[in-house]
């Protein structure tokens, strides 16, 4: 999928179409998850610190991810891939390998091109978004082809042209070559795939070890015999949050751990799993990272049991100096539960920790410091707000107002929230600002995207691609 998170936000928000959009963590320590192609023209890219992105593209729209929307669209795309073949290997929400031969969807170049073009059209019709397709005889080359096809394109890598294509590409193009391996190869005088092939298998084995060196040499020659695996076994479920300001209050740290445990169990149950081992991750003020784990008597998906175990693990960790990241995970997954009655009984005697009403179900990122647009209708601000706890409205998330209907959060801060009232398929909407405690304004679930109109294609377009 093309700039998936950002493209989904543009499709859901008519006023953002054709404009730079950046999705990610909005706090001081946030990073860019996805940037629209309009934002990329300013140099913004994924994994970039959000502060740097704001300096490069100060007028872009900066939004918190809405994973419920992305998962819904992803399921629609994966269902389309499943029609092509029973062998579909998802890599993430927005990317997958498909074995066309196994599904009878392709047996030669022409039928492969036809299947790829049909897939692109179907994705557009069903989701309203665009995807790019790479067609090749192996997973590695299909991945490279899909990158070359972006955005909204299709690339076929003809059999027999692999080495010619790969030769001038940087070594980081190949699977398994990360920053450390790439730097190691650079010091050895190898920066392109052609130079890897010329060095020979013996030299790569000497530099990288037998398994990695031999595998890399084969890939440099264009050989990749990894099969498409339809089911990738889930080994763990986890959630974690990075905090904008280091946590020093031990009670606050405990509350955050218990909140993460509840979120982890929600994911665990959504995946239809239970787990036997609870894992706590703590990154301290000095970036040192500690992990602790506890194995239970049997698999469980009980939030009280996981909360208790995570709390016990926290007791063994020194948080003096501050905590910048916390995570809770469950491993040893199973599809059944063997309830720990003793732990459950203990949990039942103690009420679950109260979660402040101001905490939303979204990620632990702060909202915008101030509304990002001028107030067009100031009537909502005519009264003075009544204190106490402020409700959180993450930028980009959906809301509904009793009078104005559906909209999304354009910005919030200073106990105000700015909302643009529009929805997928509508014209760009008006902006209004409210107090965050306005009882008529509530967070809501994302609305379905509206499919894009199909552009008729000339005959034999697949063959001429």
**What is the distance between the alpha carbons of residues 149 and 132, in angstroms, rounded to a whole number?**
6
**What is the distance between the alpha carbons of residues 175 and 91, in angstroms, rounded to a whole number?**
13
**What is the distance between the alpha carbons of residues 244 and 25, in angstroms, rounded to a whole number?**
10
Q: What is the 3-state secondary structure (H, E, C) of 310-338?
A: HHHHHHCCCCCCCEEEEEEEEEEEECCCC
Q: Does residue 315 carry a catalytic annotation?
A: no
Among candidate residues 79, 95, 240, 422, the one labeled active-site is: 95
Q: Where are the alpha helices (DSSP H) in 272-323?
A: 303-315
**What is the distance between the alpha carbons of residues 418 and 421, in angstroms, rounded to a whole number?**
10
User: Under DSSP, is residue 290 helix (H, G, I), strand (E, B) or coil?
Assistant: strand
Cis ω before 151 (30° cut-off from 0): yes
**What is the distance between the alpha carbons of residues 19 and 437, in angstroms, rounded to a whole number?**
31
**CA-wise closest residue to 278 among 293, 256, 262:** 293
DSSP string, 5-43: HHHHHHHH-GGGTTS-EEEE--STT-BEEEE-HHHHTTT
Active site positions, annotated: 95
């Amino acid at each position: 999928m093309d700039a998936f998170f950002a493209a989904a936000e543009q499709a859901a928000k008519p006023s953002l179409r054709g404009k730079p959009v950046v999705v990610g963590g909005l706090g001081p320590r946030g990073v860019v998850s996805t940037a629209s192609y309009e934002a990329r023209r300013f140099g913004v890219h994924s994994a970039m610190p959000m502060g740097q992105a704001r300096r490069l593209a100060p007028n872009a729209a900066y939004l918190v991810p809405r994973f419920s929307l992305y998962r819904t669209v992803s399921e629609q795309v994966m269902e389309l891939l499943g029609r092509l073949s029973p062998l579909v290997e998802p890599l993430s929400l927005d990317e997958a390998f498909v074995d066309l031969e196994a599904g009878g969807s392709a047996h030669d170049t022409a039928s492969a091109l036809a299947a790829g073009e049909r897939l692109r059209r179907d994705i557009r019709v069903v989701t309203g978004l665009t995807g790019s397709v790479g067609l090749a005889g192996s997973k590695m080359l299909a991945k490279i082809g899909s990158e070359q096809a972006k955005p909204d394109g299709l690339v076929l890598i003809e059999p027999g042209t692999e080495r010619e294509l790969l030769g001038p590409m940087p070594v980081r193009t190949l699977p398994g070559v990360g920053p450390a391996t790439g730097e190691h190869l650079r010091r050895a005088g190898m920066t392109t795939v052609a130079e890897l092939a010329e060095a020979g298998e013996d030299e790569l084995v000497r530099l990288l070890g037998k398994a990695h060196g031999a595998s890399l040499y084969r890939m440099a020659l264009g050989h990749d015999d990894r099969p498409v695996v339809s089911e990738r076994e889930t080994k763990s479920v986890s959630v974690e949050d990075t905090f904008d300001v280091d946590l020093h209050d031990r009670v606050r740290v405990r509350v955050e751990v218990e909140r993460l445990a509840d979120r982890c169990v929600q994911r665990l149950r959504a995946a239809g799993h239970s787990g036997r081992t609870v894992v706590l991750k703590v990154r301290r003020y000095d970036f040192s990272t500690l992990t602790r784990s506890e194995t239970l008597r049997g698999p469980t998906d009980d939030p009280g049991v996981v909360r208790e175990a995570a709390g016990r693990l926290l007791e063994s960790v020194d948080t003096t100096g501050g905590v910048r990241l916390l995570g809770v995970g469950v491993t040893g997954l199973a599809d059944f539960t063997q309830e720990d009655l003793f732990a459950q009984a203990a949990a039942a005697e103690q009420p679950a920790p109260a979660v402040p009403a101001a905490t939303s179900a979204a990620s632990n990122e702060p909202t915008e410091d101030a509304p990002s647009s001028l107030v067009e209708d100031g009537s909502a601000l005519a009264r003075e707000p009544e204190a106490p706890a402020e409700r959180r409205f993450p930028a980009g998330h959906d809301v509904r107002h009793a009078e104005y209907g559906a909209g999304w959060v354009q910005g919030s801060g200073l106990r105000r929230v700015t909302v643009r009232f529009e929805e997928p398929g509508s014209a760009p909407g008006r902006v209004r600002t409210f107090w965050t405690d306005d009882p008529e304004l509530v967070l809501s679930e994302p609305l379905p995207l509206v499919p894009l109109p199909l552009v008729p294609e000339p005959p034999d377009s697949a063959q001429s691609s």
